Every structure is written in C-alpha cells, then in structure tokens.
Amino acid sequence: MSLQCSSTDIGTHGPKARLGVGTHPNGWIQRDRWGDMKVQDAEGKIDLGRRLRIAHVITRLINGGADENTVHSCNWAAQGGHDVVLLHGETVLPEIIAKVDPRVELIGVPGLTRSISPVSDMRALLALTRRFRALNADIVHTHTSKAGILGRFAAWAAGVPAIVHGVHIVPFVNVGVAERFAYLALEKLAAPVTSAFISVSEGIRDLCLSAGVGHPDKHYVVHSGFDLDRFRNAGPPDGWRDLLRLTPDAPRPSVLLMIAAFEPRKRHTEFLDAFNKVAVRLPDAVLVLAGDGPLRSTVESRAKRLGLERQVVFTGYRDDPERLIALADLCLLCSMREGLPRVVMQYLAGGKPWYQRCDYTRG
C-alpha cells in the first residue's frame, strides 16, 4: 500500500497525502525524522519490480467509511497494473459494488459474517485459506474486525509473504467485557503474523499499542483520504425543496443533517428521542437522515410514534453527500464509537458546523 500525494486529498503525515496503491503497491511509506519518504517492502520478501497479486478482505461491503477506503485501495492497485481480488462477506450493497474498478475481481466468502459464529467462522477461515493458496497471493490486506482476524490467520496458513491489517476502528474499546476480552485476545494472537498495521488515525494506533497489540515498528498511520474540492465547491441538490417536502411558497427551514448507516452503533433511535425535544422548540426545523441499513425501518417507526413524520426526512443512500452537506445548517453524528469518521471530515470540508455526541476511540 503506498501513499500518493494530491493537492485535494487528506492523508497521513500532513494535509496532502492519500492512501492508494501505485508506485510501491506492496510497501508502505513512512517519513523518517528528516521528513523524507521511504518505502519498506515487507522485509524483502517481495520483488518490487513485478506485477503483484494483492488480495483485500472485508467483512461487509456496505456504504461505510471502511468499505470506501477498501474499494479505493483496490482500485488504485488495479489501476497500477496489479492483479487485485476483493474478498467479501455475505452482506453486500449494490451501491458500493458499483464503485469497484472492473479490473478488480470480486469473490464472496461463504460464512464470513459480522456476528460471531464458531461454525460459520471456521467455514470462512477454511475458505479464505484455500482461496489465498489458489491465488498465490503476494499480499493480503485485511479490513474490519472479523475479516481482520480470520483473514490474517488464513493468510498465514496459506504462506502469504506480506500480511497487512487496516485498523479502521478498534474492536475492543467501548464494548462489553466479554467482547473486549475475546477481541483483544484474538488481536494479540494475530499480531505476530501481521507484517504491518495501518491505522486511520494516531489515536487508533496508540490504542492498539497501549493494549499491547503489535510492535511499534509495525504500526503506521494513513488518514482516510477523499477529494476536498468535491465538498468545498458543492451546492445544494437541485430538487432540495422536494427533498424537504416544502410547498412552492414555503420559506426555507433550518436543516439538520446526519449521514450514517442505520445500525446500532450510530444510535439513530436515541437521537430521535433527543430531537423530539428540539422539535417542540423549533417546530419548523427539518432533520435529514441520509443512509441505509438494517435498522432503517425501526428508526422510521420510531419517528412515526414520536409524531415526527413531518420534520424527519429519510433520504436513503445517496451518492451526493456533498450536496446534502451544502444544504445543511448543522451536521450531526451520534455514534457509540468511531475511529476517524470520514463523514465528520466531509462536514468540515464542506465548511459546515457540526455537533457530535460520540465515544471516539481517540481517533
């Protein structure tokens, strides 16, 4: 994985770096104390001058930050002329699939699910091991907690020369005692077979190190990159009045926006309870909830029970978050925990004030 500089991207070690796979797709770049860039090549196990076989593994392919980062990394490697495979679990959304470069081969992994299931997990572990051997992969880059554990053990069993784990969020922080113990123990077991850890923030890296996961020399930070100009220069959606369900002569209301997948960690239902109190004081305010996910119908039902149908707009998944941010007066995020949330960086890039009530993992 390499770091490529761009005038419009956010990345590591400064505001103009971006994670991608290009000039040095099987190394990772860090700055030495003089600020120069240097590449480490998986301890000399890989020939940098040839076309590489790179396998990425992720638990789900949904419309989240980790998924977008994974797809960007796959696309950069494929555009650099390398053979890239993206192995994914059973939960897949068509919107994220549409963003994958046609040169990237997509392979579903039976049994790879987010929930812990010994039978399914063993099935996925064996399937990944067989697949890595068949691919004769030079590099395996894992993403997210479940795929990170199973993928690294499978890559080690298959004899993959370089095993990289992308740390988008720390699984053993702000969770129950049993879950913390299980994930921390597994992370420590997987650390010796991990060639490098790539965290999305210094805080995430420091949490791993303070918990004893991996050696400091194997930890790197690459911030979550995106096109800043896309958000700086955006205007509201063309049909914003229809989106907000306004009559032609109605004045523009105050708009609150939260862009987040509808899943328990994002705490939509809890936020609706709080917004219900705000709505009493600001009856003309409109809350826009953008995104999709398994809890969307539950949140919609909650809004209806609270009598907020008029003031809450569910947009579903949209591929123009920059336009929604341009429309908003205040942007929100209420996650139970986060690493370095891309959406908050996008709020800031759009120049909008934002409010968070999140238990960030020091991201």
pLDDT of residue 340: 74
The pLDDT value given to residue 358:
52
Q: Which residues belong to CATH 3.40.50.2000 in the chain?
A: 48-225, 229-356
Confidence (pLDDT) at 10? 31
* E strand or H helix at 44: none
* pLDDT recorded at residue 195: 96
Q: What is the pLDDT of residue 225?
A: 80
Dist CA 101 CA 251 (whole Å): 43
Helix (H, G, I), strand (E, B) or coil at 17: strand
pTM across the whole model: 0.76
* pLDDT the model gives residue 260: 93
Which CATH number is associated with domain 48-225?
Answer: 3.40.50.2000
User: Angle formed by the axes of helices 342-349 and 65-79, to 10°?
Assistant: 80
Q: Catalogue the E-assigned strands of the chain.
A: 2-5, 17-20, 28-31, 37-40, 53-58, 83-88, 105-108, 139-143, 162-167, 196-199, 219-221, 255-259, 286-290, 312-316, 330-333, 354-356
Please report where in the chains the tokens 């002329």 appear, as a residue.
81
Q: What is the pLDDT along the chain (363 residues), one digit of tens a residue?
A: 332 222 223 333 333 333 333 333 334 433 333 233 333 445 556 666 789 999 999 998 988 888 888 999 999 999 999 999 999 998 898 889 999 999 999 999 999 998 888 999 999 999 999 999 999 999 999 999 899 999 999 999 999 999 999 998 888 877 778 888 988 999 999 999 999 999 988 988 999 999 999 999 999 999 878 889 999 999 999 999 999 999 888 999 999 999 998 988 899 999 999 999 989 899 999 999 999 988 999 999 999 999 999 999 999 999 899 999 999 999 999 887 776 788 998 999 999 998 876 554 433
Fold of the domain built from segment(s) 229-356: Rossmann fold (3.40.50)
